[in-house]
């Protein structure tokens, strides 16, 4: 069986790599783990070992080419097997399921997708730095065609995420290529818009109970500083997600994947972008433990000390633009998750309580959800549960 | 507690020709991969040499001097199998080559480079220099001037090459190249910034200590 060799992911914020040299020629034998090629990313060169033993059948990325992470750079054939790359590419087509319906996420693995590209399409995709695995193919057997790539490029240009089409610099403006992180965010956001049927619902929560809890906590010096408001919200969300698995689920093709754990992503704004570290198994943690985790992850995110594992595997995300003064937001879902909570500014507002206008500590909570999976009633039940828990002073809502 | 940390052997090698240092690194990387060696930090200095990486070969224009001029200055010109553009090494630099295994918990090239920058920023801070990172540009900078260059090679997450801190090099020699292909930015040194040259042993001790702190290692000094 031929095996694809992929451009490896050398770091969490790294989106692409440049081929520096090939250590084997086409037709040469290579052992498993023997150095096969060298790449360069951000002043770092790396020697990449072969994933399998065999014969280097074809090289797709030439020296000097910069290709996205996970794109196929070469194919290795079995030992003794005479491999002609196009023939083996043809064979792969039988394994691929019938064409995905337009607009749906193709349920085709990355490697088989990339393998079925014609050289023209591959070159075109590389020129425009497109990850063809993210495209829906309209060709035979779901194959990505030249037209698909061109349509995507046109689409990308319209949506303003095409860094390849930068205007020329002039005296009155400055042109800079996007950083790898910026490009990654751009791609992620547009993909999410295209993938999910975004709907938003907004509730208002009264934080007087949480404020009282925090005040009581601050008076007992022995207990340490009180957790932040975000930690109480995260706790309420984790409990509600554990009780309503559909909000913690993902869509995979025509399947729904329910996650046993609540892995809570917390969006952290950075001077140079945005990152979403994940609190694993948040449903098992107390408010204090969540608070410690948020502080730790946010601190390390800002000093670039997160491990790749710590930004993977999220099942739901909380974003907190309220800390910048936003009253409420309409967040984009963090794929492949199905919902995201946006916390608005927590501030004193006039509210009517028993026919009197009083000042209460309030905030808007927006749930952005994927209507492919979550219906409005379920979304509202979920958010109502979060609000109820917060208004009960951070205690979990009754089931 | 400290005894639990992995060992970092620190070796002070003095003046080593570039090609010889390449060979030493190759051997140590193989030894580290096979488990025959522990993590190491080599501290050394090179005779004047301009090295050209793969991306520099296409536009030699970043080596500004002619071969004859380079000969007159006693500077060697070497093509080296790395990415990146043009680098100058010479006496008066503190060159550090960490040969460490980033597995299992530090497998991220950005993080490694940022960590090296951190080591150097802390090191020069203890000599009174406030250096910083420049977004998008690797290395350690003071204003628009580069104080330390970084270039790294990984082989199955074992590192080689590393950093070159300008302590008191002949800064004129940098005018023979456009460092790292970055036109419009200059170079500086600890000597130029502070007016004095810290004793080499002090500098090596500080950089080793900061490296051990940033990378969570315990130092063992080797002859």
pLDDT digits 0-9 by tens, B184-216 = 568 899 999 999 999 999 999 999 999 999 999
Give the residue extent of every domain in chain A: 3-84, 93-177, 198-391
In chain B, the residue whose alpha carbon lies closest to the alpha carbon of A176 is: B136
pLDDT of residue B69: 76
Grade residue A105 by pLDDT with cuts at 50, 70 and 90. Answer: very low
Q: What is the mean pLDDT of chain A?
A: 80
Q: Which residues, including other chains, have CB under 8 Å from residue A303's CB and lie 6 or more apart?
A: none
Per annotation, catalytic residue among B116, B147, B164, B180: B180
Q: Do A35 and B155 touch (CB under 8 A)?
A: yes
Mean pLDDT for the stretch of residues B60-76: 73
Residue with tokens 């996650």: A259
Mean pLDDT for the stretch of residues A242-259: 94
CATH topology identical between A3-84 and A198-391: no
Nearest Cβ partner of A13 from B110, B112, B151?
Answer: B110
Nearest Cβ partner of B138 from A38, A42, A179?
Answer: A42
Q: Pick from B75, B54, B40: which is nearest to B217 by CA?
A: B40
Measuring CA to CA, how many Å separate A340 from each of A119, A241, A383, B19?
Answer: 40, 11, 11, 55
Active site residue B107: no
Active site residue A259: no
What is d(CA A134, CA A144) in angstroms, rounded to the nearest whole number?
10
User: Virtual CA dihedral for A106, A112, A114, A118, nearest 10 degrees?
Assistant: -110
E strand or H helix at B69, and its extent? Answer: helix B67-72
pLDDT of residue B170: 85
What confidence tens digit (pLDDT) does each residue in B142-195 have? 988 899 999 888 888 999 999 999 999 888 777 776 554 455 568 899 999 999
Mean pLDDT for the stretch of residues A386-398: 75
- Percent of chain A past pLDDT 70, that is, above it, reads 77
Q: Which CATH architecture has domain A3-84?
A: Beta Barrel (2.40)
In chain A, the residue whose alpha carbon lies closest to the alpha carbon of B55 is: A64
Cis peptide before A234 (omega within 30 of 0): no
User: Do A267 and A319 meet the contact criterion of CB atoms below 8 Å apart?
Assistant: yes
Q: Which CATH architecture has domain A198-391?
A: 2-Layer Sandwich (3.30)
- The DSSP bridge pattern shows strands A72-77 and B39-45 to be unpaired
Query: How crowded is the C-beta side of A46, counted as CA atoms within 13 Å?
Result: 24
Nearest Cβ partner of A44 from B54, B58, B112?
Answer: B112
d(CA A43, nearest CA chain B) in Å: 5
Q: Do A11 and B108 touch (CB under 8 A)?
A: yes
B-chain residues within 8 Å CB-CB of A21?
54, 81
pLDDT of residue B186: 80
Measuring CA to CA, how many Å separate A217 from each of A96, A166, A361, A388, A393?
Answer: 59, 54, 18, 21, 12
Which of A8, A13, A45, A163 would best serve as a mutation to test chain B binding (most B beta carbons within 10 A)?
A: A45
Q: Residue A126: is its pLDDT beyond 90?
A: no
Per annotation, catalytic residue among A252, A370, A371, A380: A371
Lowest mean pLDDT: which of A51-65, A211-225, B162-176? A211-225
What confidence tens digit (pLDDT) does each residue in A278-330 have? 999 999 999 999 999 999 998 888 877 777 778 888 999 999 999 889 999 99
**Six-digit token string for A215:** 């005040």
What confidence tens digit (pLDDT) does each residue in B5-42 have? 889 999 999 999 999 999 999 999 999 999 999 999 99
- Ranked by mean pLDDT, the top range of A131-140, B120-129, B130-139 is B120-129
Q: Do A179 and B111 touch (CB under 8 A)?
A: no
Q: Do A45 and B154 touch (CB under 8 A)?
A: yes
What is d(CA B122, CA B134) in angstroms, rounded to the nearest whole number?
16
Q: Residue A112: is its pLDDT beyond 50?
A: no
| Residue scoring higher pLDDT (A236 or A66) | A236
A-chain residues within 8 Å CB-CB of B153?
44-47
Beta-carbon contacts below 8 Å between A and B: 83
B-chain residues within 8 Å CB-CB of A308?
107-108
A-chain residues within 8 Å CB-CB of B136?
179
What is d(CA A250, CA B14) in angstroms, rounded to the nearest whole number?
58
Report chain A's C-alpha Rg in angstroms: 25
A-chain residues within 8 Å CB-CB of B150?
43
**Six-digit token string for B113:** 């480079």
């Amino acid at each position: 069986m031929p095996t694809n060799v992929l451009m490896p992911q050398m770091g969490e914020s790294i989106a692409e790599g440049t081929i520096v040299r090939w250590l084997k020629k086409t037709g040469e034998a290579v052992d498993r783990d023997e150095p096969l090629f060298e790449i360069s990313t951000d002043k770092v060169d790396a020697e990449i070992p072969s994933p399998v033993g065999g014969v280097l059948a074809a090289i797709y990325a030439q020296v000097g080419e910069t290709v996205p992470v996970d794109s196929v750079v070469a194919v290795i054939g079995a030992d003794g097997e005479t491999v002609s790359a196009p023939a083996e590419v043809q064979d792969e087509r039988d394994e691929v399921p019938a064409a995905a319906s337009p607009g749906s996420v193709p349920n085709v693995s990355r490697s088989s997708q990339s393998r079925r590209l014609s050289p023209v399409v591959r070159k075109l995709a590389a020129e425009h730095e497109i990850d063809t695995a993210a495209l829906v193919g309209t060709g035979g057997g779901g194959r990505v065609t030249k037209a698909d790539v061109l349509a995507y490029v046109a689409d990308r240009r319209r949506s303003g995420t095409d860094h390849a089409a930068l205007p020329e610099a002039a005296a009155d403006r400055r042109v800079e290529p996007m950083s790898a992180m910026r490009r990654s965010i751009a791609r992620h956001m547009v993909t999410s818009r295209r993938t999910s049927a975004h709907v938003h619902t907004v509730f208002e929560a009264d934080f007087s109970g949480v404020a009282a809890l925090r005040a009581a906590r601050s008076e007992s010096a022995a207990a340490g500083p009180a957790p932040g408001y975000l930690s109480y919200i995260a706790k309420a969300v984790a409990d509600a997600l554990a009780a309503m698995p559909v909000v913690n689920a993902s869509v995979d093709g025509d399947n729904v994947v329910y996650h046993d754990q609540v892995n809570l992503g917390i969006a952290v704004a950075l001077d140079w972008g945005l990152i979403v570290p994940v609190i694993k198994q948040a449903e098992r943690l107390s408010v204090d433990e969540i608070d410690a985790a948020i502080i730790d992850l946010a601190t390390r995110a800002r000093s670039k000390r997160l491990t790749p594992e710590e930004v993977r595997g999220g099942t739901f995300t909380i974003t907190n633009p309220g800390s910048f003064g936003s009253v409420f937001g309409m967040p984009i879902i963090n794929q492949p998750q199905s919902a995201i909570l946006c916390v608005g500014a927590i501030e004193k507002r006039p509210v009517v309580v028993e026919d009197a206008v009083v000042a209460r500590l309030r905030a808007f909570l927006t749930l952005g959800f994927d209507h492919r999976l979550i219906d409005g009633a379920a979304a509202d039940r979920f958010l109502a549960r979060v609000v109820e828990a917060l208004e009960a002073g951070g205690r979990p809502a009754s089931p | 507690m400290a005894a639990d940390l992995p060992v970092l052997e620190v070796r002070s090698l003095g003046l080593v020709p570039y090609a010889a240092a390449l060979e030493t690194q190759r051997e140590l990387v193989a030894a580290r991969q096979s488990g025959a060696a522990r993590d190491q930090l080599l501290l050394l200095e090179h005779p004047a040499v301009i090295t050209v990486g793969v991306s520099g070969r296409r536009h030699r224009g970043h080596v500004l001097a002619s071969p004859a001029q380079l000969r007159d200055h006693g500077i060697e010109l070497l093509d080296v199998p790395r990415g990146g553009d043009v680098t100058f090494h010479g006496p008066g630099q503190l060159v550090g080559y960490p040969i460490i295994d980033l597995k299992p918990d530090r497998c991220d090239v950005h993080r490694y480079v940022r960590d090296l920058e951190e080591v150097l920023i802390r090191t020069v801070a203890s000599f009174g220099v406030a250096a910083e990172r420049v977004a998008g540009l690797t290395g350690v900078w003071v204003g628009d001037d580069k104080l330390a260059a970084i270039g790294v090679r990984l082989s199955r997450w074992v590192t080689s090459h590393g950093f070159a801190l300008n302590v008191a090099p002949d800064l004129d020699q940098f005018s023979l190249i456009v460092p790292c292909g970055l036109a419009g930015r200059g170079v500086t040194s600890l000597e130029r910034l502070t007016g004095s040259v810290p004793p080499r042993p002090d500098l090596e001790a500080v950089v080793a200590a900061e490296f051990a702190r940033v990378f969570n290692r315990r130092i063992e000094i080797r002859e």
